[in-house]
Structure 1
Amino acid sequence: MTDRFAEALIAAGPTSEYPVRMREFARLVGRWDARGRRLDEGSGEWRERTFEWVVEYVLEGRAVQDLEITTDDARRSIATAVRVYDPEAGAWRVSFFSPETGEYCTLVATSYRDGIRQDGTRTDGLPIRWNFSGITDDTYTWDGWVSHDDGRTWVHTDHVEATRLR
């Protein structure tokens, strides 16, 4: 049954219904070595982190799903995001799930400068902004921010630089 599930979920490529929009996240499909740091908002300390980021087309090529696979101290954790293009809104709807940390975020993604901007809310209702920038065939940068004052100011909470593995 697992093979049937994977076969139905994973798509060979993007849908042909909206090829221009599918290119926004198509650049990220593949496997990535990701290295960065995350702010512990309680202590104010930055913590280094590394993970493998795997991105594939799913749902008949109408969506892109990623897995963030982290292995620390012989412990493995997985988080995932599903990005579905919504032709009615002209934007991508993003749902992020990290069961281990209890973080569940919803965002809307659009093209922005040299990358992709994702705006939404995290589990506690605070506004978040996640940006991919400097996307090339082999690298990207990702930064995350949170606002504690309804978007008037932003605190930088995450920085990741990634290199393509395949």
Structure 2
Amino acid sequence: MTASSRASMLDLLSADGPDPDHAEALMLYGRLVGTWRVENRYRFPDGEWRTATGEWRFGWTLGGRVVQDVLHCPDFHGPYPGTTVRMYDVTTGLWQITWFSPKLPSYFSQTGRPDGAGGMIQEGTDAEGRPSRWTFGDVTPTSFHWQGFVATPDGGWDLFQEMYASRDGGQPIG
């Protein structure tokens, strides 16, 4: 048995940092690597807005070409977090993104890019095939504002979730 065959799945998944061949482009989401405290506001199917605190952890995976996160808000999801996998596509310069939460169950498939104002925009579809848009705005080394939208029948966007994040310890990680 070789050393690589004895490594755990998590050891093989994890990466120490961005792929050096594409490090600059990878920092669009790579700058989020670390642990964040979040105030999560979510509109439930009954139309009521509820707020909960949680934790959002971002890390490097798959040879440093992927930024993966785990979002954990126990008041909304119980002990079952959701995860997002963001893969930088070196051929297009875009990010291919999948979020899923097996407990709900729910998933989104999106493409991400810079928004032109220092943040990121992700657009795609939700589990029902409706257009979706997620944004990261007001991004600083210690905070950001995330918003999730779903398309309305009239072609507009309806906010269904937003989070204010602050970095644990106040210092960038990674």
Q: TM-score range by the shorter chain?
A: over 0.9
Unpaired segments of 5 or more residues in structure 2? Answer: 170-174
Identity %: 32
- Matched letter for residue 126 of structure 1: R
Deviation of 1:74 (Å): 10
Shift of the 107–2 alpha-carbon distance from structure 1 to 2, 3 Å rule, reads: farther
Which structure carries more helix by proportion?
A: 2
Deviations 1:35-84 (A, max 9, x none): 121112x3221111221111100001010000012223993121000000
Unpaired segments of 5 or more residues in structure 1? Answer: none
Normalising by structure 1, we get a TM-score of 0.92
Q: Within the alignment, does 1:13 sit opposite 2:28 as a pair?
A: no
Which structure carries more strand by proportion?
A: 1
4+ runs deviating over 4 angstroms? none
Query: Match for residue 119 of structure 2?
Result: 115
Alpha carbon RMSD of aligned pairs, Å? Answer: 1.9
Q: Residue 131 of structure 2 is aligned with which of 116, 124, 127?
A: 127
Contact 1:27–1:135 under 8 Å retained in 2: no
Q: Within the alignment, does 1:90 sit opposite 2:110 as a pair?
A: no
Query: Match for residue 109 of structure 2?
Result: 106
Normalising by structure 2, we get a TM-score of 0.88
Following superposition of structure 1 onto structure 2, how do residues 31-50 of structure 1 map, counting pairs within 5 Å? 31-40=35-44, 42-50=45-53
- Matched letter for residue 149 of structure 1: P
Shift of the 75–19 alpha-carbon distance from structure 1 to 2, 3 Å rule, reads: closer
- Matched letter for residue 19 of structure 2: T
